[in-house]
Amino acid sequence: MQFIVDENVRKEVVDFLRTQDQDVMSLPAGLEDERIAQIAKETKRILLTHDQHFANILAYPPKEYSGIICIKIHPPNAEAIINALENLFQKLPSKQMDKRLIILEKNGFRIR
């Protein structure tokens, strides 16, 4: 899978993705949400973020993206996020992430 990772995602999570042979593009700090969304569209990558603004399907319609994964795990413990991602990857093939909003939670995920 190809990911674009927002600046708010912990380094340990990015490292985990890379150890799983995922193609990960990290974004520089300070980019506006609109620019992040534009890059995600242009590069056709799954956006991974903690920013709940991306869960707004009116502002960021999932059908326009290769997938949006909003992490909703508090506190944002790296181990909990990694475990939740492993669970997601086991249960949902990458093809089913396309054009979907996925809310990643500690004990599962929701798809819109």
Residue 27 has pLDDT above 90, yes or no: no
The predicted model gives 38-46 an average pLDDT of: 97
Q: What is the pLDDT of residue 16?
A: 97
The predicted model gives 4-32 an average pLDDT of: 94
In 3D, which of 66, 33, 65, 30 has the Cα closest to residue 49?
Answer: 33
In 3D, which of 33, 7, 10, 26 has the Cα closest to residue 85?
Answer: 10
In 3D, which of 27, 2, 30, 26 has the Cα closest to residue 14?
Answer: 26
Q: What is the pLDDT of residue 7?
A: 93
Domain boundaries, the chain: 2-111
Q: What is the pLDDT of residues 60-105, one digit of tens each?
A: 999 999 999 999 999 999 999 999 999 999 999 989 999 999 999 9
Contact 43, 82 (CB under 8 A): no
The rounded mean pLDDT for the chain is 96
CATH of domain 2-111: 3.40.50
The predicted model gives 47-71 an average pLDDT of: 97
Contact 102, 110 (CB under 8 A): yes
Q: What is the pLDDT of residue 17?
A: 97
